Amino acid sequence: NAGVTQTPKFQVLKTGQSMTLQCAQDMNHEYMSWYRQDPGMGLRLIHYSVGAGITDQGEVPNGYNVSRSTTEDFPLRLLSAAPSQTSVYFCASSYGQTFSDGYTFGSGTRLTVV
Amino acid sequence: DAKTTQPPSMDCAEGRAANLPCNHSTISGNEYVYWYRQIHSQGPQYIIHGLKNNETNEMASLIITEDRKSSTLILPHATLRDTAVYYCIVHSGAGSYQLTFGKGTKLSVIP
């Protein structure tokens, strides 16, 4: 099925561990992004990419790295997990700058850092 | 992007129209109004967007006032599955990649 696939759906990490959240889309979308959502709050942009080989920081980039080696994949790396990174992470993609078709979001990764 | 103001919560009877308001008084000429919704624990879902004219698709209708300072999302026949948080977002698109999600409106559809 076409869409945005995120793995894993759930993850528990210990403080200081590193991990990679995976995001893949099969819609040939140029634009991909990562958001985090904390309880009772809206989504905040972490990093985004406008195409393969191009990434940039969003509103809350500290503690996260990204790369975009292919159009389809946009992994998010937590370098050294902290309890403040406990959140729900959403990956989103869109066809282009005008976002005329809207963003397509994945189902999320629920991360707990203990 | 311009800021938006939405009521924190609304109720709607099942089968009736749900009218969700949004104020965006500082919207500029090249900014679109987008609506997304988030059903519990799921990723946000795109609903509709518009610039000046009213828009309709299979999910909803979007009514934008002539001065573009406010808009209303209309779900014509609300069902229990429409219970969700609805986000109104103003976004110019070109050159700006961040969608600013506020706290939205929690719509509860009541049987």
**Chain segment B67-83, per-residue pLDDT in tens:** 999 999 999 999 999 99
The answer to whether A38 faces chain B, any CB pair under 8 Å, is: no
Average pLDDT over residues B8-36: 94
Q: What pLDDT is stored for residue A97 in this prediction?
A: 57
* Residue B2 pLDDT exceeds 80: no
Average pLDDT over residues B36-43: 91
Q: Which residues of A touch B47 (CB under 8 A)?
A: 102
Token pair in block for residue B23: 């104020």
Model confidence at B93, pLDDT cuts 50, 70, 90, reads low
Q: Which residues of B touch A25 (CB under 8 A)?
A: none
Average pLDDT over residues A83-107: 85
CB atoms B43 and A106 under 8 Å: yes
The proportion of chain A whose per-residue pLDDT surpasses 70, expressed as a percent, equals 94
Q: Are strands A10-13 and A109-113 parallel, antiparallel or unpaired?
A: parallel
Token pair in block for residue B9: 């919560």
Q: What pLDDT is stored for residue A96 in this prediction?
A: 67
Q: What pLDDT is stored for residue A99 in this prediction?
A: 56
CB atoms A42 and B49 under 8 Å: no
User: Distances from the Cα of A52 to the Cαs of A24, B35, B45, B90, in angstroms?
Assistant: 13, 28, 25, 27
Strand partners for A5: A24
Q: Which residues of B touch A46 (CB under 8 A)?
A: none
